[in-house]
Amino acid sequence: MKHKTLAFIAANLLWLSQAQAASAPVGIVIHGGAGTISRDSMTPAQQKAYESTLKHAVDQGYEVLAQGGSSLDAVSAAVVILEDSPLFNAGKGAVYTYDGTHELDAAIMRGDNRAAGAVAGVKTVKNPIKLARAVMEHSEHVLLTGAGAEQFAKVQQLELVDNSYFDTEFRYQALQKALKALTKTPHQANLRLSPLFPLEWNVGTVGAVAIDKNGLLSAATSTGGMTAKRFGRVGDAPLIGAGTFADNHSCAVSATGHGEFFIRYQVAGDICARVRYQGKKAAVAADEVMQELKEVGGLGGVIVVDQKGALSWHLNTEGMYRAKREQGKDAEIAIFKD
Ligand code: ASP
């Protein structure tokens, strides 16, 4: 008898938690990089182009959620659109390395079992975020790099392209400016606390965070890194806890900015840790972390979703390409700080 009562209570509790999870509001936030993005530095046509690509990406991601799809599929769909656009420093349009090539980094993470996949320094994979997801779902590893990661992409039958596919004139000009600056100073790796180049030469890393109807939080980030990077430099984007993090107990975060700071200050993980262990609201934790980062010279921004579906963005730069869409609402798109 006692057994039956316990089983009855357990069944009801399970039903209740499933019903609660099923009613979680869905939502998605995306970014297309943070940095010196001012109104005077953009023509109205450029602004429109950014806004319409951001809208397309956030709407596609939202559509996945609205159809009952997972947040993992939603962030992947949004990031693929941004990778395919030449406007952003990810996939097509990635910045150039010192040697005049492109080396791409990406990561994806899910917040229920904290599975994650990431790649660094890949040169021929059209959509690095798809490779990161394949690492998560079809390997026992978290992070694959360079030639090995590309071999894995072949095994996974992902689309490969010539490195020149990622070329754009705008990024090529940024490299020329960087190389000129480098004749006066040694290489980027020697610089300690300030970025050698203005952030606008790199701006355009992309990312997405989302929550689906089952309450699953996911995060994804993809980037070409920093202009004129050398010596196999890897940024924060593919490092779990630095530029990308998701944990259903707290929040999901995707970051953009001066990667060395985001790595050293474990920005994405720190925001979620403050939520989980200090009981702070995700938006409060993210504001704190970005303010503290600014105080030590780290510039950039983050997008955040918490386990209740609150969506937010936080930047300590002049601008960040960004968009969000809450359940039942239209997309909200922004570029400049205010
Ligand atoms: N965080 C990227 C990196 O350091 C660059 C960026 O987001 O602008 O590789």
Q: Calculate how far, in angstroms, residue 325's C-alpha sits from the geometric centre of ligand 1.
A: 24
CA torsion angle 32 331 309 220 (round to 10) = -30
- Comparing CA positions, the residue from 78, 86, 128 lying closest to residue 103 is 128
State if residue 225 touches ligand 1 by the CB under 6 angstroms criterion.
yes
Q: Whose CA is nearest to atom 6 of ligand 1?
A: 257
State if residue 116 touches ligand 1 by the CB under 6 angstroms criterion.
no
The stretch 281-308 carries a mean pLDDT of: 97
Q: What is the CA radius of gyration of the chain?
A: 20
Q: Crossing angle for the helix pair 71-84 and 128-138, nearest 10 degrees?
A: 150
Listed by start position, the domains of the chain span: 23-336
Largest CA distance in the chain: 83
Q: Crossing angle for the helix pair 71-84 and 44-66, nearest 10 degrees?
A: 160
The stretch 13-38 carries a mean pLDDT of: 73
CA distances from 265 to 91, 269, 294, 296 (A): 26, 9, 11, 10
Query: Is the separation of the CB atoms in 327 and 210 below 8 Å?
Result: no
Q: Calculate how far, in angstroms, residue 302's C-alpha sits from the geometric centre of ligand 1.
A: 11
Average pLDDT score, the chain: 91
pLDDT band per the 50, 70, 90 thresholds, residue 37: confident
Residue 15 is predicted with a pLDDT of 45
State if residue 236 touches ligand 1 by the CB under 6 angstroms criterion.
yes
Q: Which residues are catalytic?
A: 205
Q: Whose CA is nearest to atom 7 of ligand 1?
A: 256
Percentage, residues of the chain above pLDDT 70: 88
Instruction: Region of 257 please: left (phi>0), alpha (psi -120 to 50) or beta.
Output: left
Over the stretch 183-198, which tens digit does the pLDDT of each residue have?
765 555 444 333 456 6
DSSP lists the bridge partners of residue 335 as none
Is pLDDT above 60 for 12? no
Contacts of residue 203, Cβ cutoff 8 Å, sequence gap at least 6: 33, 34, 35, 36, 37, 89, 256, 321
State if residue 254 touches ligand 1 by the CB under 6 angstroms criterion.
no
Q: Calculate how far, in angstroms, residue 89's C-alpha sits from the geometric centre of ligand 1.
A: 9
Q: Whose CA is nearest to atom 9 of ligand 1?
A: 225
pLDDT band per the 50, 70, 90 thresholds, residue 38: confident
State if residue 226 touches ligand 1 by the CB under 6 angstroms criterion.
yes
- Neighbour order of strands in the sheet with 206-211: 143-145, 116-122, 104-110, 217-223, 206-211, 27-35, 319-326, 332-336
pTM exceeds 0.75 = yes
Q: Calculate how far, in angstroms, residue 139's C-alpha sits from the geometric centre of ligand 1.
A: 26
Residue 9 is predicted with a pLDDT of 54
Structure tokens, 256? 């953009």
Over the stretch 302-332, which tens digit does the pLDDT of each residue have?
999 999 999 999 999 999 999 999 999 999 9
Q: Are strands 332-336 and 143-145 parallel, antiparallel or unpaired?
A: unpaired
- Comparing CA positions, the residue from 223, 236, 123, 231 lying closest to residue 187 is 231
- Comparing CA positions, the residue from 273, 224, 225 lying closest to residue 245 is 273
Q: Are strands 116-122 and 319-326 parallel, antiparallel or unpaired?
A: unpaired
State if residue 222 touches ligand 1 by the CB under 6 angstroms criterion.
no
pLDDT band per the 50, 70, 90 thresholds, residue 200: low
Q: What is the 3-state secondary structure (H, E, C) of the chain?
A: CHHHHHHHHHHHHHHHHHHHHHCCCCEEEEEEEEECCCHHHCCHHHHHHHHHHHHHHHHHHHHHHHCCCCHHHHHHHHHHHHHHCCCCCCCCCCCCCCCCCCCEEEEEEECCCCCEEEEEEECCECCHHHHHHHHHHHCCCCEEEHHHHHHHHHHCCCCECCHHHHCCHHHHHHHHHHHHHHHHCCCHHHCCCCCCCCHHHCCCCEEEEEECCCCCEEEEEEECCCCCCCCCCCCCCCCECCCEEECCCCEEEEEEECHHHHHHCCHHHHHHHHHHHHCCCHHHHHHHHHHHHHHCCCCEEEEEEECCCCEEEEECCCEEEEEEEECCCCCEEEEECC
Over the stretch 248-257, which tens digit does the pLDDT of each residue have?
999 999 999 9
Is 3.60.20.30 the CATH classification of the domain at 23-336? yes
DSSP lists the bridge partners of residue 145 as 120
